Amino acid sequence: MAHGSATEWEAAARAALKEGGHRAGGARGAVVSLLGGQNCCLSAHEISQALHESGGDVGIASIYRALELLHGMGLVQRVEFGEGTARYEPVIPGGEHHHHAVCEKCGRVTPFEDERLERQLEHLAGQLKHSMRGHDLVIRGECSRCR
C-alpha cells in the first residue's frame, strides 16, 4: 500500500468513526494507526503482538471489537485463507487493492498487484454480462523459501 494511501485511509477511518459517533482513541485508534501503516493483512493476534512490541497495552478483546466495528463500517475487509484465522486490511477509497499469495507450508502471505490481471477480470465480467463490485484472488502453493 502506498504511503499516501495509508495516510488517506487512516484519516478517512478516523473521520468515519467520529461521524458514526465512535471514539477514535484507545484500542480503535491504535488499530487504525497500525493498519494504516501496513502493506498487507494482519490477524488480531499479529495486531496485538505489534501493538505490544511498540509499547501499547491493548487487550485482544478490545482489538477484536475494534476490528468488528471497522469491518461493519466497511473500513476494513476480512480476508480468510482457509487456515481458520481471519486477517484484516484497510479498504482503500477508490478501490485500490492487491491480492495474496499464501505459502501452504509456512503461512507466509505475500501481497501482489497486477494491472493486466485487473483488466482481464473486468473483461471477463463483461463477457459474462455480470457486474463486478469486487473480487478476491489467492494463489496457494509454496513460497520461494519453502521450495
In the chain, what are the domain boundaries? 3-90, 99-141
pTM for the predicted model, two decimal places:
0.76
Q: Give Cβ neighbours of residue 130 (< 8 Å, ≥ 6 apart).
A: none
DSSP H or E run through 147: none
CATH number for 3-90 (one of 1.10.3720.10, 1.10.10.10, 1.20.20.10, 3.30.1490.20): it is 1.10.10.10
Query: Percentage of residues in the chain with pLDDT exceeding 90?
Result: 50
Assigned CATH for 99-141: 3.30.1490.190
pLDDT recorded at residue 1 = 43
pLDDT recorded at residue 97 = 77
For 14-70, write each residue's pLDDT tens digit.
999 999 999 888 899 999 999 998 878 999 999 999 999 988 788 999 999 999 999
